[in-house]
Structure 1
Amino acid sequence: MSSSETLPTVLVVDDEVRSLEALERTLFEDFDVRTAKNAAEAEAILEQEWVQIILCDQRMPEVTGVQFLTQVRERWPEVIRIIISGYTEADDIIDGLNEAGIYQYITKPWTPDQLLRVLRNASRMFNLQRQNELLAIELRMLGETAETTVEKRKARLRDRYSDEDGIIRTKDSPMNAVCQTLRQIAAYDLPVLITGESGTGKELAARSLHYNSLRWNKPFVVENCGALSDELLESELFGHKRGAFTGAVEDHIGLFERADGGTIFLDEIGEVTPSFQVKLLRVLQEGEIRPVGSNRTRKVDVRVIAATNRDMDEEVRLERFRKDLYFRMAGIVVTMPTLEERKCDIPVLADYLLKQAIRELGKTAKGFSQEAVACMTRYQWPGNVREMQNEIQRMLVMASDNAVLEANLLSPRVLQAAPEEDISEITLLSEFRGSLKERIEKLEARIVHETLVRNRWNKSRAAKELGLSRVGLRGKLERYGLEKADQSDMLETGRDKISEEA
């Protein structure tokens, strides 16, 4: 211990002088030792000094150690009390534990190592008690404030899901019908199965259901059932008792019990094995759980929302999923549309995800260029919203601070996405007006522009693809005003220039 640290104070009480000297010699390096030959001297020291530990002999002339420490317990209850004695009568030990609140009973003859170990532990116990008292005071002072803060946060969270459903979309989005269904069924305590491809926002839909239900101020817990083995999933959902299996060193409360009164969201429910399906069915039927290693059940009041990207009707038909469990969980089925089915949402969703990425990554950006948005809208997004989120985070990391995110920052698979197949040639050409020459030039400008974007403005590659020389491509760029320096407006500039020349 450094010289700047204060040693904990130990009061040694013993009527034998040689015992006092031996104890003081053993303890003086680690403790600030005070000695007393009787209870009266000890009380005088306690009244004058701040003592953390008392080491008291049991057999003393006027009062026993237990009797003295019982009085100490009443006046100085925070002091750690230890008895040291050459006698081990059971009655003394019991009285010491019950009446005096003895921390430890040390028998003579003692060894220095044993004594130091006990007193060091006692010193740590004293410090922990003091910290606990301070925390208790702080909690009493802050309890009302903390409770109010938590309630305000819950209310804000509920308001968000009540006003926006937590799902970003446009006024004409195909997602509107889904959100309307979620609002209609939220208040009814029925199980819901949410289906849809990965990344379509099934967990967001589940949260919307919870925060618009009567359970909104109770817990909402999530478990990915496809990520765990049967044994771990059973422990996570239902809990376990200490010693139930190797590594179970303490009791564990399962998610069903933690969600009592609230909602549990079981994601990837289609991945659970048939053997675990039986256990889950029993919980849903009986409304009670049994922790692993326990022979007692516990009642729980939980609303179950499940989700899967599998075709559950097909899974039931192939007997990979129990029919009775399926109908127990699918009280109401809600299907989430893919991002391909809600392309109109891509611009507003991209802006939202960009703002989210800016907050998380600590970088700045001025938004997307028109080309970047056009490329993202054209891409099919097989990974749905989650894939778009990753793509936007990547663009933000690769871009300079406070820059417009251009199309050349997109991944090749997004940048080189083929035009939508359902756009017919007639629809495409109907966008152009004017003479035949004007229409051909406008179409040529679009082809040149699209080729440059797809090749990340590498003019050599673009010229090769178009069958032009670099000089020929440069002439097209000058003619149509296609310069990368002003990508957001260059297509319109090119059209205007064509019109002027015509």
Structure 2
Amino acid sequence: MDREYTILIVARDEGAWTELSEVMADRSGYRVLVATTETEAQQLTRDVHIDLVVADEGNKDFDGCEFLSNLRVSHPDIVRVLVLAKSGNRQSKGVKEASVYQYVRKPLDVEQIALIVKRGLESRELARRHRLISREFKMSDESIAYHPPHDLRLIHEGQQFEKLVYASEKMATICEMAKTSAKTDLPILIQGETGTGKELLARAIHYNSSRKSSPLLMQNCGGMNDDLLQSELFGHKRGAFTGAISDRLGLFRAADGGTVFLDEISEVSPSFQVSLLRFLQEGEVKPLGSDRTIHSNVRIIAASNRPLSQLVATREFRRDLYYRLKGIEFEVPPLRDRVADISALAEFFAAKHSESMGRKILGLSANLLEKLSHYDFPGNVRELENEIRRLVALTGDGEYLTTRHLSPNIQDAPRRGASNRDRGFVPEGKTLKDQVESLERHLVEQTLKRYRWNQSKAAEELGLSRVGLSNKIRRYRLDEENAS
């Protein structure tokens, strides 16, 4: 199995599904998540990359058929399995509405459901491969009756870590480290500009940890005064302050055994930093208005769009708290520093929003991808998604996404690449051959400098093999120390 598949079981009675969960986890190596409410199940489908859902038919409080029917629209790639009651006439209606892969009746036969899950995942993988092969031949098939612009190209799917989509080496390194970090209980600090995907990374870490069956609770610390933040995180007793009309549990106690994500941690006051430091050291929660301390086992993942090390240097952030938070530290690079991710993200967002809008988008043009790659995206991935969503909304059904409706600021972005970097360079030599060799030497040297003489990355950008680049380095007598 190339990767770990994720199975979501949606049932009110979690205990009845324990044996099936253990069989699929232990025997097949699946990651099994259980949701007991529709709200919880919907949140999991938003946060986690789910491959297959097994949903109980439910009762008046929860309709499994309706949940799977909605899932068919919002997440069409998820395989859907419906579990029906022992008897009843709902089978044909439920299967038709939800367009399920298979249905079974109670009592649960663990071996039967495990086999259905296995076959469902196999069918899903075959359908995915068929879709990729079909895309490779689509252009030649359509060219018989229709001649699209010459600049269209097909894009291969990027990699995913839950809902994080990437193709760059930088993000691949971060995601591999995050998968390893998820297996520990160390606090995690995620830094990076707004819109780079810090929250998605935090969610992915939680759902790949041993705490995945316990709550993940989120709190944005920006713009909150100390009393309110203290109440949100540590809880309070009735009458602790004006407006405290009832007891409040607080996120640290509500997430016991799970994870709390603290966004914009750089914005908390010095006095609150002391309270947070004590919790990280002792794991003790003391609600406002209470004399009793309670222990809570919570993993903290903190995020900041301002470098905490600089805030420590200016004494705006406590040094001891900084080192407590950065048990493991991640720096998510801005989109302008991982241009390789733009194509994969653009295709992912185009598919996502075309499905949600009920549009059929045939593909993305190479000119569009080139324009996107030249833009710096100060709003990062969030800005890219908004742009693609806008393009999907403005593009006609059955058409390609092109530069036609592109925002002016992206349309007018100056071109990256050699033309800007090498402006003013004049090739040396009298003959054409000499001048071409001079230009080639310059381009190879500048690319090596840009990647700090990482020959693998330089060769990839230049379209050379590693051996081919080494030959040119020797031919032009390039030296890392003496390169001009």
TM-score normalised to the size of structure 1?
0.53
Query: What does residue 257 of structure 1 align with?
Result: 253
Is the Cα–Cα contact under 8 Å of residues 398 and 409 in structure 1 kept in the other structure? yes
**How many residues are matched?**
291
Is the Cα–Cα contact under 8 Å of residues 408 and 415 in structure 1 kept in the other structure? no
Query: What does residue 168 of structure 1 align with?
Result: 165
SS in 2 for 1:164: strand
Alignment of 1:203-242 (within 5 A): 203-242=199-238
Query: What does residue 178 of structure 2 align with?
Result: 182
Is the Cα–Cα contact under 8 Å of residues 368 and 404 in structure 1 kept in the other structure? yes
Query: What does residue 297 of structure 2 align with?
Result: 301
Q: Cα–Cα, structure 1 residues 359 and 253, in superposed 2: closer, same or farther, change >3 Å?
A: farther
The equivalent position to 1:342 in structure 2, one of 328, 338, 341, is 338
Q: Structure 1 CA distance, aligned partners of 2:424 and 2:258?
A: 53
Unpaired segments ≥5 residues, structure 2: 1-10, 22-31, 36-40, 52-158, 426-431, 433-484
Q: Structure 2 CA distance, aligned partners of 1:354 and 1:293?
A: 51
Q: Structure 2 CA distance, aligned partners of 1:323 and 1:165?
A: 32
Deviations 1:397-445 (A, max 9, x none): 233334322212111111111111654587999xxxxxx9xxxxxxxxx
Unpaired segments ≥5 residues, structure 1: 1-139, 430-435, 437-502
Deviations 1:227-264 (A, max 9, x none): 42222211111112222223222222211111110111
Is the Cα–Cα contact under 8 Å of residues 191 and 329 in structure 1 kept in the other structure? yes
Query: What does residue 262 of structure 2 align with?
Result: 266
Is the Cα–Cα contact under 8 Å of residues 241 and 252 in structure 1 kept in the other structure? yes
The equivalent position to 1:392 in structure 2, one of 384, 388, 405, is 388
Query: What does residue 195 of structure 1 align with?
Result: 191
Query: What does residue 151 of structure 1 align with?
Result: 34
Q: Cα–Cα, structure 1 residues 428 and 387, in superposed 2: closer, same or farther, change >3 Å?
A: farther
Query: What does residue 106 of structure 2 align with?
Result: none
Q: Cα–Cα, structure 1 residues 274 and 359, in superposed 2: closer, same or farther, change >3 Å?
A: farther
Range that drifts further, 311-320 or 227-236: 227-236
Which residue identity does 1:168 align to in structure 2? V
SS in 2 for 1:226: coil
Is the Cα–Cα contact under 8 Å of residues 193 and 329 in structure 1 kept in the other structure? yes
Q: Structure 2 CA distance, aligned partners of 1:190 and 1:142?
A: 33
1:332 to 2:328 alignment: yes
Higher-Rg member (1/2): 1
Q: Structure 2 CA distance, aligned partners of 1:360 and 1:233?
A: 36
Is the Cα–Cα contact under 8 Å of residues 33 and 213 in structure 2 kept in the other structure? no
The equivalent position to 2:373 in structure 1, one of 354, 377, 384, is 377
Alignment of 1:402-421 (within 5 A): 402-420=398-416
Q: Structure 1 CA distance, aligned partners of 2:242 and 2:312?
A: 35
Is the Cα–Cα contact under 8 Å of residues 158 and 216 in structure 1 kept in the other structure? no
Displacement of 1:141 in angstroms is 8.6
Q: Cα–Cα, structure 1 residues 220 and 350, in superposed 2: closer, same or farther, change >3 Å?
A: same
TM-score normalised to the size of structure 2?
0.55
> Cα RMSD between the aligned structures?
3.2
1:275 to 2:274 alignment: no
Is the Cα–Cα contact under 8 Å of residues 374 and 415 in structure 2 kept in the other structure? yes
Q: Structure 2 CA distance, aligned partners of 1:261 and 1:290?
A: 17
Q: Cα–Cα, structure 1 residues 322 and 299, in superposed 2: closer, same or farther, change >3 Å?
A: same
Q: Structure 2 CA distance, aligned partners of 1:254 and 1:366?
A: 48
Q: Cα–Cα, structure 1 residues 249 and 143, in superposed 2: closer, same or farther, change >3 Å?
A: same
Which residue identity does 2:410 align to in structure 1? V
Q: Structure 1 CA distance, aligned partners of 2:235 and 2:418?
A: 52
